A and B are shown apart, each in its own frame.
Chain A
Amino acid sequence: GQSLEQPSEVTAVEGAIVQINCTYQTSGFYGLSWYQQHDGGAPTFLSYNALDGLEETGRFSSFLSRSDSYGYLLLQELQMKDSASYFCAASGSARQLTFGSGTQLTVLP
């Protein structure tokens, strides 16, 4: 089985940088994904890391350390519209994603 832990809430101001951490315990781990969800709407894919290191996509970057069973999502130049829930999700040999409980990000003006 797999379990993931991430902080329940993070608050930051507009223009700042915020990091959302995710630790996982899993068997047969393949990679770590990140999803964004606004107000209970459709979760949308942000990034995926299969290898150690940093993946950058515009203002968002994601990092993975397989040896530490740890990853993070980095959001730069925060905007009000970034206020949402962010979920890390692990993929493994079971061929289905296991999601963390989510981090509610609040961006203040």
Chain B
Amino acid sequence: NAGVMQNPRHLVRRRGQEARLRCSPMKGHSHVYWYRQLPEEGLKFMVYLQKENIIDESGMPKERFSAEFPKEGPSILRIQQVVRGDSAAYFCASSPDRGYEKLFFGSGTQLSVL
């Protein structure tokens, strides 16, 4: 039973390019969460999605960032026109119905902006 799958593990972009991060939740999980982590810091909530719906995007910057979780396929976190400050580890987590106190995390995508 595969866990939460994130790809790519490492992503290098130049300033101004777009970054697309993918997350496939655990089988049977319909809730997806994206978190960002800077070195030596905790995980900062970005967005919470269910299939085809954004439930809470209060932690996501209003500009350049977007997320989706389509009916078919993985959840995508998209960052347009990346800047150096976007460099971080981005973690995706999933949970079954309403079990959000216990999240299952992927291994993360390390985004480096040159």
Contact residues of A with B, CB < 8 Å? 30-31, 33, 35, 40-45, 48, 50, 87, 89, 91, 94-102
Contact = CB atoms under 8 A, between A and B. Distances in A.
Contact of B43 (A31, A50, A87, A94): A87
Interface of B: 3-4, 33, 35, 37, 40-45, 48, 55-56, 58-59, 89, 91, 93, 100-108
Nearest to A47: B102
Contact of A95 (B42, B48, B102): B48
Contacts of A42: 3-4, 91, 105-108
Contacts of B93: 43
Nearest to A104: B40
A96 B46 CA distance: 10
Interface of A is mostly: strand
A97 B34 CA distance: 11
B41 A41 contact: no
A91 B55 CA distance: 15
Contacts of A96: 33, 45, 48, 56, 59, 100
A31 B101 contact: yes
Contacts of B40: 102
What are the 3 closest A-B residue pairs judged by CB atoms, nearest first?
A99-B42, A101-B42, A99-B43
28 contacts: A31-B101, A33-B102, A35-B105, A40-B37, A40-B108, A41-B107, A42-B3, A42-B91, A42-B106, A42-B107, A42-B108, A87-B42, A87-B43, A89-B43, A91-B100, A95-B55, A95-B100, A96-B48, A96-B56, A97-B100, A97-B101, A97-B103, A99-B35, A99-B42, A99-B44, A101-B41, A101-B42, A102-B42
Contacts of A87: 42-43
